[in-house]
Structure 1
């Protein structure tokens, strides 16, 4: 059984047994099992036994990429203390936790992004927030094109190893002294991707997740999707299985070629071998059967034009989120699209129901396409650069559309991204608004449950705790940054814990994470900030 600590409400748990498939791509043996973390709402996704036994094991928490948690988190009226761990090089986008070590503690792994020469991997002590070790990114292994995206996504596996796709390689990091979480960092494996797993000479890794058979799935910036064993000794070129979306066009591929399918988000996976990838052109499902990788379906969506001030790439700004956790649930993959006034889009992730008539003028796979207006019926433009936060059939979307978005759109790539981040510091430029939308399985339609027109969450990836019933994200009020807590049921602001007026407390597209002991963690410029119960 997996151990997640105290403070949990009792609920039923379900075993997920993972059989080791056969063939050259065989997963590790013997089969392993784990228990879905107990949650009062019964809406936890199936447990992935190959991820770390921890509160948050990677980007968007786990393979479904729902970014929601059953763990306790700060509640209104709770006394909180603020802690900053500074001195990091770059932006640590996702603090990810290991399982519990023999000494009773955990480590926190994080990979930083920014300019190519400012990237590192850090290990922190989860109890104190102290930096335990840093591993610098070798100068001869700098990413080549994506300026801020490659290396942004990560997973921590059940052996407490950090796995990151960066540049043209997948790196595995662990403890220099096995089992000692306070030891230095050791680079356990660097898998230089074979030419067949890249689309041309300027491609690089972007998305990454853990499959339910123990393999790591990845997607590259120029549309190659693949899998590789997670064990360092088996992470070899001959064990990479991949499939290219762009095919023959890779011979002359360039990141500036808008005709290519390009990836600027991470990926998600389900327990049936489905791998979900959104590109600048379409939404895809690929199927992994333990040996081979195949394209299950492709569905177009409203991609819009070029990247805006809020967006890091063209098309959707969201990592696909898997919705539908119970056997009888409708099953979807969820994104926001690239329309000028974006839509929340739900697509049937498996077989489309035979009696589904489809939406007029849309691919039959699309089950819902609803504008996100944040409660303003006159709104004509809005964009989002965060994956959609999901719990049950509920989906939460913050507004990331800056008041100076049109001016920012004229700036070149990385410069535009940095200016967009810093614009969030300025109250008159910062975006406002957030909305929850829900799928109704009886009417088979989406509806707006509530909208908050005043909250400002400029660029943080949000999370929620089903235990506290609150959504959490780093927001700004009158230029001061802090932890904002919105009621999941009503959208009302119920918690505010200030951090700093300094620009370094800007969340900078980093994830807000539910950590151990009722804590909330987030990345910022050059550091990690934590909101903890006063007694911790």
Structure 2
């Protein structure tokens, strides 16, 4: 079947650049008394690991999608903030600007989503967050803040073109041309996906666009011909992005199993299941998860030319303890390397991707994050904090003995929902923490019953797990990152999408 090629949309911004200054996100005034910085600035301590291969049809590693590269490693070769006189700037957008990518000039390309409104593709200045250009995407977001379809997962290609799943069941290709967003193509996938939302899209190593939907459709589009073919995972749903490698493998996790897909040209050009690995999906939908199943996008480790065709890792949703699972990813089949239980029994959940540091993996605990959208925001606005279970851990994998162990485990930091990242240049793990009211009250030695809802960019030594520093980013519900990632820019700045828009944290 061929996707209908629709006429492109019209850009909202004129051809000439009109840079609109950014208004700051308003915070809770009770946050004025909070300590802004704890810890100390540090000198970079680089971590040496093999590089992730550069995908030929995606922007440079670290610039292309929410997880940074085709392997979904969530690591950056470049620097992040070191903690030196950290400055915070914000952009009030009226919607969460989650996935942050960078064009070849280092400018931000992001999709901002507001419940009940049409998502907007934005071109922003990376320094002051001013709007350079914007484009309204088709369709409207629903009332749920937990929707990921419609632009939550998009990618920037090697030609500075954003490939965005839209709310009306299409794929929109928009080029960054000088200071404007210029629509190039629009592919209608509704004949093959129906009303299901497109969760994510990524290209394989041949340039074909692979997409997945919430209802379990895995499809591939040839942008040269418009040909589309699909495979349906009956009775399974998909809520996360996908990963791709240089062997042609496309890795998908549903709420029941991890899959490797490959493109079968001799069979008429269609996606085929190379292997399927069921995992323990647990007995319940845990607080902090979007569904009953793995909350992680597959993370790839090592080149496809290596042993076992390289490796792939996810978390399961097992009870009483969630586990990190590591498997071979080659075409021969998903032989398990090892598994490692993490976090306290009955109190562990991860709705964000693992971070690959060489062959090791960093996992975070999101258990207890309340995702009942408006109740969440109204509750926080009224002073009720959403306290989650603390926890971060680094899992060491010995690929010779095929065993897993805990390199370190933290039981202090509360990480409600952020996609944490690692800078190999600084040796720091960057996460977005949310202390409990009791922790804030103790830290500031106050008997005040109502404490502000406070959000911090926190850096940990990735080698030891020890906190290095923590910087207050903002207080109040508009500074909740709500499943958005930390993203590191070329100049070492950290960006975090929040409910109110976007924030930038950088060394002065």
Q: Which residue of 1 aligns with 2:338?
A: 368
Task: Indicate which of 207, 214, 222 corresponds to 2:215.
Answer: 222
- Report the Cα distance in structure 2 between the residues aligned to 1:401 and 1:223, rounded to whole angstroms: 25
| Contact residue 93 and residue 111 of structure 1 kept, 8 A | yes
- Report the Cα distance in structure 2 between the residues aligned to 1:147 and 1:531, rounded to whole angstroms: 25
Task: Indicate which of 205, 211, 236 corresponds to 2:198.
Answer: 205
- Report the Cα distance in structure 1 between the residues aligned to 2:367 and 2:399, rounded to whole angstroms: 31
1:95 deviation in Å?
Answer: 1.0
Matched ranges for 1:78-477 at <5 A: 78-86=84-92, 88-100=93-105, 106-139=106-139, 148-150=147-149, 151-167=151-167, 168-175=169-176, 178=177, 180=178, 182-183=179-180, 185-195=181-191, 197-198=192-193, 201-229=194-222, 234=224, 236=226, 239-246=227-234, 260-288=235-263, 291-325=269-303, 327-328=305-306, 331-340=310-319, 341-351=321-331, 365-373=335-343, 379-402=345-368, 418=376, 429-477=387-435
1:456 deviation in Å?
Answer: 1.5
**Aligned CA distance change for structure 1 residues 115 and 46 (closer, same or farther; 3 Å):** same
SS of aligned partner of 1:500: strand
- Report the Cα distance in structure 1 between the residues aligned to 2:229 and 2:332, rounded to whole angstroms: 28
SS of aligned partner of 2:475: coil
SS of aligned partner of 1:504: helix
Q: Which runs of 5+ in 1 are unaligned?
A: 1-23, 26-38, 101-105, 247-259, 354-363
Q: Which runs of 5+ in 2 are unaligned?
A: 4-45, 441-452
- Report the Cα distance in structure 2 between the residues aligned to 1:505 and 1:469, rounded to whole angstroms: 26
Higher relative contact order, structure no. (Cα contacts within 8 Å, ≥ 6 residues apart): 2
**Aligned CA distance change for structure 1 residues 205 and 303 (closer, same or farther; 3 Å):** same
- Report the Cα distance in structure 2 between the residues aligned to 1:277 and 1:334, rounded to whole angstroms: 11
Task: Indicate which of 475, 497, 501 corresponds to 1:501.
Answer: 475
Task: Indicate which of 32, 41, 56 corresponds to 2:48.
Answer: 41
* Deviation per residue, 1:370-417 (Å, 9 max, x gap): 2112xx5xx332111101111211111111112xx6xx59x6xx557x
- Report the Cα distance in structure 2 between the residues aligned to 1:508 and 1:370, rounded to whole angstroms: 27
- Report the Cα distance in structure 1 between the residues aligned to 2:87 and 2:143, rounded to whole angstroms: 40
Q: Which residue of 1 aligns with 2:6?
A: none
- Report the Cα distance in structure 2 between the residues aligned to 1:321 and 1:530, rounded to whole angstroms: 26
1:42 deviation in Å?
Answer: 3.9
Q: Which residue of 2 aligns with 1:480?
A: 454
1:278 deviation in Å?
Answer: 0.6
- Report the Cα distance in structure 1 between the residues aligned to 2:425 and 2:160, rounded to whole angstroms: 26
| Contact residue 264 and residue 270 of structure 2 kept, 8 A | yes
SS of aligned partner of 1:94: strand
| Contact residue 421 and residue 508 of structure 1 kept, 8 A | no
**Aligned CA distance change for structure 1 residues 332 and 53 (closer, same or farther; 3 Å):** closer
| Contact residue 310 and residue 420 of structure 1 kept, 8 A | no
Q: Which residue of 1 aligns with 2:81?
A: 74
- Report the Cα distance in structure 1 between the residues aligned to 2:327 and 2:340, rounded to whole angstroms: 12
Q: Which residue of 1 aligns with 2:24?
A: none
1:189 deviation in Å?
Answer: 2.2
- Provide the TM-score with structure 2 as the length reference: 0.80
Matched ranges for 1:47-58 at <5 A: 47-53=54-60, 55-58=62-65
* Deviation per residue, 1:271-297 (Å, 9 max, x gap): 111001111111111012564421100
- Report the Cα distance in structure 2 between the residues aligned to 1:279 and 1:294, rounded to whole angstroms: 15
| Contact residue 146 and residue 290 of structure 2 kept, 8 A | no
- Report the Cα distance in structure 2 between the residues aligned to 1:506 and 1:235, rounded to whole angstroms: 42
| Contact residue 484 and residue 498 of structure 2 kept, 8 A | yes
- Report the Cα distance in structure 1 between the residues aligned to 2:479 and 2:494, rounded to whole angstroms: 14
| Contact residue 212 and residue 270 of structure 1 kept, 8 A | yes
